[in-house]
Each structure stands twice: as structure tokens, then as C-alpha cells.
Structure 1
Amino acid sequence: MVFQPHGLSPDRSARDLFGARLRHHRERAGLSLRRLAEELNYSKSHLARIERAESLPYDDLPTMLDAHFGTDGLFTSLYELVRKEPIPRRFHRVIEIASRATVIRQYASATVPGLLQTSELALRSLRSGRPYAPVAEIEATASARIDRQARLSSQRPPRCWFILDEAVLRRRVGSAEVMRHQMMSLIERGTSPHVTLQVLPFDAGEHAEMGGSLTLYTLPDQPLLAYLEGSRSGTIIEDQDEVAELEESYDLLKAMALSPRDSEAMIRAAMEDWTPCEPPRT
């Protein structure tokens, strides 16, 4: 079987453009990925991911490519565009949907939703799922996630309703201090008139959305959309029969969850649990 390289659409993203230019110059030079990796003393697997637009270039690779191919700063210039676009393209559509939504309803079973994360928790969450990613790539992705929260403070923010499983409050991400600051941030977010927070306690028992995240997006002049997300994948649901079932599931979770006032009390109790105890005085 003849190997067929992964297709790229250079006009789709800066990552695709960088990968397409890398492949073009590599093939024009008659080099395999393995040979180019050897000549650059670079990881072949990471070069492949960059060429497929699945990973960010990092370190001094753009400069090395310009020197190797004699491209007079082409890859260095492209890298500046790539740095501003740290989100993999498979998430672009749902991010675009979220940016236009007038109402966002989300249930999170395992971790704090991105729109509510502190920068410290965002960094630790991303690192846990991508242990081999370069530090610069993790920081860029976390920064992009935090930047999207600005919409919650805009003049016309979306109406947001978040249901957090109790596990979100109890599972440590990073240090106890990171968790305490995250609980404080949740309490502050919950005071916004356009944000409602509820906690689904453990004793609520089983339900249909265990183990995943469900988000419902209301957009102007469009049917309701749903988004199901696991630890490493996400699916946009547009079929209205399926969306209706998921909306019913969300409404049931809302009924099972604590009231906003009782939810705040549980978050405050979790914050106290994450507060380090002072050592006894002697």
C-alpha cells in the first residue's frame, strides 16, 4: 500500500499553513521526515504532528527550518501567526458556536468548565492530559482558554447556567491552594446576575450524563445545539430529536441539583476543606 500523507487545507488555519509549507519544502528537498529529523536533530514524531497541523512548533524550530531551507524568515513569520492560534482545529467550530451563543447551559462531571477556570487550574488540567507537550504550547492553550472568559464580563454577556458535579469540587487539580483559589473564583462568578451555579451532590445518585460533559447552546435564529465532550473528544449534536433528549436530560440534572444558595454553601465548605491547616503552636 502506497503511503498517502495527511491532507492539509492551508487556508483553514495558521497551523495548517505552517504544516503545508513544511511539507512543501521538505518534499522539494527530497527529504523524508526521518531524514529531516536527523538533519535537524529533532523529534521525528513531533515533526510529523507539526506537519499534520496537530501540534505547535516550539523551541527554535522555525529558525532552524529557515536556515535549513533558506526561506529567509518564512517559518519564523508563520510561527508568530501560529502562536496566536493555539487551539487545535477540531475545536474551532464549537469555540465559534460558543462565541455567538446567547444562552449557555453546561453540566460538568469531572472538572471545572473552561469558562470558569482560574489560570492555575487551566494550566494543571491541560498538563495532565498532555504530559509530553512543550511548556510553551500548554501555556498558549491555557492563555487562549482564559481569554475566552472575557465574554462573561462583556456588555452583553451570554446567560450561563452551570451544573457542577460534586466531584468537580472534591478532586484535587494541582495543589490545595490552586483548588482553594478556584473555589473562591466560582463563588465570585456565581454572584454575576447572568450566571447561575448549581452543584449536583454525590447523593443525587446515578443519571444519564455520568462521566462526560454536556453543553447546550442557544444561538440567534438557529435551532438549539448540543455538545458532548469526553476527556479526549467532543461531538456537536445537531439532530433536533437527539438535542431534545439531551435538553430533557439537562433539565433533569437541574432538578436533581442543589439550589444556587445551597450550592454556594457547598462550594464554600469545599473551599474550607482546601484551606491548609496551620501547624499547632508550641
Structure 2
Amino acid sequence: MTFKPRDLQPERSARDLYGAEIRLRRARADNMSLTRLSEILNFSKAHLSRIETAESLPPRGLSEALDAAFGTDGIFLKLYPLARREEFPDKYRRFMALAAVATVHEEYAPIVPGLLQTREYAQALLSSSDPFGTDEEIADKLEARLKRQARVYAPRPPRYWFILDEGALRRPVGGPQIMYGQLGALLAAGRLRHATIQVLPYSVGEHSELMGGSLTLLTLPDRSMVPYEEGARSGTLIEDPESVTRRRALYDLLRAQGLPPKDSAEMIRAAQEEFSHAIRREGRPLAEE
């Protein structure tokens, strides 16, 4: 089967325009392959491919090298600051724009949601989810994720409701020390007046079609609702009215199955205590000691 490269829409985003320019210049250079271009630039072919398909931000220094390789007189250098402003790939950008204005944010997740992650937890998660990413790519994603958290602590924040699978408390992402700090951050977030945290315990058993994925419900200023479903490698905004109603019902069912906030906080404390024992068994002090 012939490989078909991902379609790019230069009019849609600066990331796409940057990638389209790379593809165009390769075509004009006797259909230069990505392999050959990576050799000329002394740059990872896999990373270069992700930049061309608008999945990754171009790193510092690449634009000058591309202009030199193609003789493009500063085109890539001019596009670089525009592309760097777009922290999220296009498939997430609309969701992020809606989340930035939502008045109510409800989320179910099998891991600690990005809005509640500590820097250390987020870095461990991002590094494991993209094992072939460069340090700069991971750092870019990390800063973009942490920047989103500012709205949780803003003067006039949305109403937040988080339902976490119990596995989010038990899986030692980054190790016991990082999990100890992460669970402490969850307890602190649960004390915010505008945030509610529930745990969906293992004892519930199977729980609808959301197992393994996450669901976010965004209520917008006009009171309309937009659900966003996310799997390991893809995310989908849902706007069909019937599907929106179904996602609302699924979330309400999870809310009914979850522990009350007070009991959820007790389970989080118990899990944190287990990690504290693991840290001490390793002969290491707790973060606050």
C-alpha cells in the first residue's frame, strides 16, 4: 500500500504552514526525502517528521538550518515565532479554546487530570507517553500543561468537578516520592471552594464505556455543553445533541457511583500514607521532612 502523508491545512494554523513549507521545499528539491533532509540538518528524522505533520513544535535553531538547506532567505525564521505560539496540536486546540472560557468543567480520568498534576508527576507522565521525544519537546509540553492550571487558581475560576479512577491513586507514576507529593496536591485542590474531587473505587467494578478513556464536559457561557472524549492517542469533541445527552448521562452515572468527597479525601490520604511507608522503607525522607 502506498504511504499517504498527512494532509496539512496551511490556512488553519502556523504549525501547519511551517510543516507545509518543509514539505513544499522538499518537493522542489527533487523530492528530497526526509531521510536525506535529516542527514543534511544532522537532525532526528522522527522528530523532523512530527514537525512536518504539525504534531511537534519546531525547536530553536531548526529554522536557520532549514533556511540554509533550502536557500529560503529567512522564510522559516519568520514562521518560527508564529508556530511557537501554538502550544497544542490542532486536534486539541479547539478543546483548549473552549476550556479557557467554560463556566463549568467536569472531568472523569483514569489518571490524575492535567489540571491537577504536579510538575514532577506531569513530567514523568509526559516522558513515558512519548519515550522517543526530545528533552525540548517534553519541556514544551510540560510548560503548556502547567500554564493551563492557572485558571484553576484564578480570581474568578470555573466550577470544577473531577472524578478519578482509584487507579490514579495507586499507580506509582514517577515513584513513591512523586506520588506522595501528587496526592498531597490533590488533597489541597479538594479544599478549594470551587472544586470537588471524587474517587471511583475499584469496588464499583465495570463502569460503562468510559473504562480506559477520559471524558470532559465543558459548559460554556451560553449554557451549551461540549463533551470531549480522549483515548490514549486521540481526542474527539462531541457536538451532536443526542451524543451530548448520552455523555451527560454517562458522567452523572459515574458521579453517582463515586465516593462522596469526604470519603474520597480519606481514600486519597490512605493512599498517600502507603506511599509514605514505601519512601521510608527505601530509607529516604518525605518531601516535607
Normalising to structure 2: TM-score of the pair? 0.88
Q: Is the 8 Å Cα contact of residues 83 and 140 (structure 1) preserved in structure 2?
A: no
Distance 1:160 1:197 in 2: 8
- Structure 1 counterpart of 2:221: 220
Deviation at 1:30, TM superposition (A): 2.9
- Structure 2 counterpart of 1:211: 212
Matched, 1:132 2:132: yes
Q: Is the 8 Å Cα contact of residues 224 and 240 (structure 1) preserved in structure 2?
A: no
Q: Secondary structure at the match of 1:112?
A: coil
Q: Deviations over 1:103-138 (max 9, x none)?
A: 1111112x1111111111111111111110111111
Deviation at 1:155, TM superposition (A): 2.1
Matched, 1:237 2:238: yes
Distance 2:46 2:152 in 1: 39
- Structure 2 counterpart of 1:71: 72
Q: Secondary structure at the match of 1:277?
A: helix
- Structure 1 counterpart of 2:98: 97
Q: Is the 8 Å Cα contact of residues 47 and 133 (structure 2) preserved in structure 1?
A: no
CA distance 1:59–1:96, shift in 2 (3 Å): closer
Q: Secondary structure at the match of 2:124?
A: helix
Amino acid at match of 1:241: E
Distance 1:271 1:122 in 2: 18
Distance 1:123 1:38 in 2: 30
Q: Secondary structure at the match of 1:214?
A: strand
Deviation at 1:162, TM superposition (A): 0.4
- Structure 1 counterpart of 2:253: 252
Q: Secondary structure at the match of 2:24?
A: helix
Q: Is the 8 Å Cα contact of residues 102 and 218 (structure 2) preserved in structure 1?
A: yes
Q: Secondary structure at the match of 1:274?
A: helix
Q: Deviations over 1:39-78 (max 9, x none)?
A: 3333444333322212233364222212223334432343
- Structure 1 counterpart of 2:9: 9
- Structure 2 counterpart of 1:198: 198
Deviation at 1:146, TM superposition (A): 0.8
Q: Is the 8 Å Cα contact of residues 199 and 264 (structure 2) preserved in structure 1?
A: yes
Matched, 1:265 2:276: no
Q: Is the 8 Å Cα contact of residues 216 and 224 (structure 1) preserved in structure 2?
A: yes
- More moved, 172-181 vs 29-38: 29-38
Amino acid at match of 1:26: R
Deviation at 1:2, TM superposition (A): 8.4
- More moved, 179-188 vs 80-89: 80-89
CA distance 1:4–1:185, shift in 2 (3 Å): closer
Q: Secondary structure at the match of 1:100?
A: coil
Q: Is the 8 Å Cα contact of residues 166 and 201 (structure 1) preserved in structure 2?
A: yes
Distance 1:53 1:62 in 2: 14
CA distance 1:169–1:5, shift in 2 (3 Å): closer
Q: Deviations over 1:208-245 (max 9, x none)?
A: 02221111111122532211111111111212222222
- Structure 2 counterpart of 1:147: 147
CA distance 1:127–1:3, shift in 2 (3 Å): closer
Q: Secondary structure at the match of 1:267?
A: helix
Q: CA RMSD in A?
A: 2.2
Q: Is the 8 Å Cα contact of residues 164 and 199 (structure 1) preserved in structure 2?
A: yes
Amino acid at match of 1:277: R
Q: Secondary structure at the match of 1:242?
A: helix
Amino acid at match of 1:79: Y
Amino acid at match of 1:180: Y
Distance 2:203 2:21 in 1: 55
- More moved, 58-67 vs 190-199: 58-67
- Structure 1 counterpart of 2:170: 170
- Structure 2 counterpart of 1:112: 112
Q: Is the 8 Å Cα contact of residues 216 and 227 (structure 1) preserved in structure 2?
A: yes
Amino acid at match of 1:97: L
- More moved, 83-92 vs 29-38: 29-38
**Percent identity (aligned):** 51
- More moved, 191-200 vs 72-81: 72-81
- Structure 2 counterpart of 1:18: 18
- Structure 1 counterpart of 2:280: 277
- More moved, 182-191 vs 22-31: 22-31
Distance 1:106 1:265 in 2: 20
Structure 2: which 5+ residue stretches go unaligned? 285-289
Q: Is the 8 Å Cα contact of residues 58 and 134 (structure 1) preserved in structure 2?
A: no
Normalising to structure 1: TM-score of the pair? 0.90
Deviation at 1:150, TM superposition (A): 0.7
Amino acid at match of 1:179: M
Q: Is the 8 Å Cα contact of residues 86 and 137 (structure 1) preserved in structure 2?
A: no
Amino acid at match of 1:234: G
